[in-house]
Structure 1
Amino acid sequence: MQRRIHFISGLPRSGSTLLSALLQQNPRFHAGMSSPVAGMFSTMLGELSERNEFSVFINDAQRQRVLRGLFANYYDGEVDAEVIFDTSRTWCTRLPALNTLFPDARIIACVRDTAWIVDSIERLIRGNAFQPSSIFNFQTGGTVYSRAEGIANGDGMLGYAYNALREAFFGEDTSNLMLLQYDTLVSNPARALAAVYDFIGEPAFIHDFEHVSFDDKGFDERAGTPGLHRVHARVGAIQRQSILPPDVFRRFENDSFWRDPQLNPRGVRIV
């Protein structure tokens, strides 16, 4: 690619859409909600593997050119920005490949206390009482306990992303990784954005934290979850009481491993 590319990943309901909405204010940047590129990347990687009967004709150099070309072909002609941010929770599982394909790329992983992530998802479900959500395969039954269990398991919306984050954080390819905490982004967005710009090596830009806009109602409605990617016009922390039963909340309240300095021997930047 002739343009710079970076990646937004991390946990759901942790500020990735807000971060993208803010970055979009910079006319040099393109950012949005999760794109289909990561899915295409995974599919293409599989088709280039040994399960392809013609794989004998495919070497690693060709694989890299094809996968690198995927990004160029997806964005070229559609996006004029000089710097592109592609978003997917899958990118935390692809750090070795991304570091090889795009050595100058940075991966920003958005994180949040998992108890509050579960609370946020539960609020969405209850707020859309007449629309079954794709988060739970449009099933209409269940309780807060089964929903929490469903999103927390290894294939669930939260569990998969959490395991992917741990894979990235504790792996060897952390030089291009930064964790951005939700609490920092909403309580001190100027500090958060300054850290992002410093991390990606771009000149500072004055952002408007009082008038933030992002709209993808069509996607959210199709997913049966209106408000899934809603961003408030004004950036700020909202104090509220959890709607989760106390035992469900307690189950997740000690999951924020990134807050323990002893678990960060490689010095991953945490903002």
Structure 2
Amino acid sequence: MSSEFIFHCMSGLPRSGSTLLAAILRQNPNVQHAGITSPVLPMIVKISSIMVEGELVTEFNESQRKNLIYGIIKNYYLNKTSTHNKNIIFDNHRMWCTRLNLLDYIDPNSKVICCVRDPVWIINSFERIIQSDPLLGSHLIPIEYRGTLHERVEALLSNGGAFGYCWKAIREAFYSKFSRKLIIVDYDTLTKRPKETLIRLESILGIKHHVYDFNNINFNSANRFDENLNTVGLHSVGKHIHPPSRHLEGSKNP
């Protein structure tokens, strides 16, 4: 990867703290970008298909392929920084877990932060967000599966569902020969011991230590993304870190 910036990724399971962690990392003066899902990896995959399939394959050599991939990353983030010292990028996409070999090709030193959480609480978190809209209009669930709780859970757990796909992807990454690139961050650990979690993360990534303010977290750049999914609050982050309440949606007991 170019010496202009350091490239790492975020992936893992949904509703498991990746947005919260990104919001915290943005406080670090050396971090250029950390946020929600970016289009970088899908763009790389699409242009890669042109370079390796069909009649145009012969028009690309190894150097051209690498330069084009690097160019996507560099030019997407080119105008997202205002100072030279902000040189660390955390690109967020769930598909990175299925493309560890590509990431190693891009930069052997890059890592993937995988946020994880007990699946029961992931599904519960999704259901709480979805039920916050009385019309159940979230595009996370196909309209034909929005009728009942059981149908919504089945849709989330399906192969292409918001949870099902990520579950398959992280298992693939965990058992691949590139699993050394993974950094697993547990949601409960992050919310209960954020200081220790960030210190450990900085150590693994070789990032200069920064004192984070866990009582003044600001992140409001995902509103349009959430509105497009008709799932307002999907990437909402509270100002203060606190462990989540343990109330199952639909349970009669508090």
- Judge same fold: TM > 0.5, yes or no: yes
Tell me, what secondary structure is at the counterpart of 2:89? strand
Report the equivalent of 1:110. 115
User: Which letter maps to 1:149?
Assistant: E
Determine what percentage of the aligned residue pairs are the same residue: 36
Give the 5 Å matches for 1:75-94. Answer: 75-80=77-82, 81-94=86-99
Report the equivalent of 1:38. 41
Moved more, 5-14 or 70-79: 70-79
Q: Hey, what's the Cα distance between the residues in 2 that align with 1:27 and 1:158?
A: 33
Report the equivalent of 1:257. none
1:148: how far off? Answer: 0.8
**Residues 150-180 of structure 1: CA deviation (Å, up to 9, x unaligned):** 1111111111111110011011002221110
User: Which letter maps to 1:150?
Assistant: A
The question of whether the paired residues in 2 share the 8 Å contact of 1:119 and 1:244 is answered with no
TM-score, with structure 1 as normaliser: 0.86
Change (3 A) 1:166 1:245: farther
Alignment of 1:225 with 2:231, yes or no, is yes
The question of whether the paired residues in 1 share the 8 Å contact of 2:142 and 2:155 is answered with no
Report the equivalent of 2:249. 243
Report the equivalent of 2:135. 130
Change (3 A) 1:36 1:139: farther
Alignment of 1:176 with 2:178, yes or no, is no
Give the 5 Å matches for 1:1-271. Answer: 1=2, 2-29=4-31, 30-51=33-54, 53-80=55-82, 81-130=86-135, 132-137=137-142, 141-215=146-220, 216-244=222-250
TM-score, with structure 2 as normaliser: 0.91
Q: Hey, what's the Cα distance between the residues in 2 that align with 1:186 and 1:160?
A: 25
Q: Hey, what's the Cα distance between the residues in 2 that align with 1:61 and 1:245?
A: 57
Moved more, 216-225 or 108-117: 216-225
Consecutive unaligned residues in structure 2, runs of 5 or more:
none
1:58: how far off? Answer: 2.1
**RMSD between aligned alpha carbons?**
1.7
The question of whether the paired residues in 2 share the 8 Å contact of 1:153 and 1:160 is answered with yes
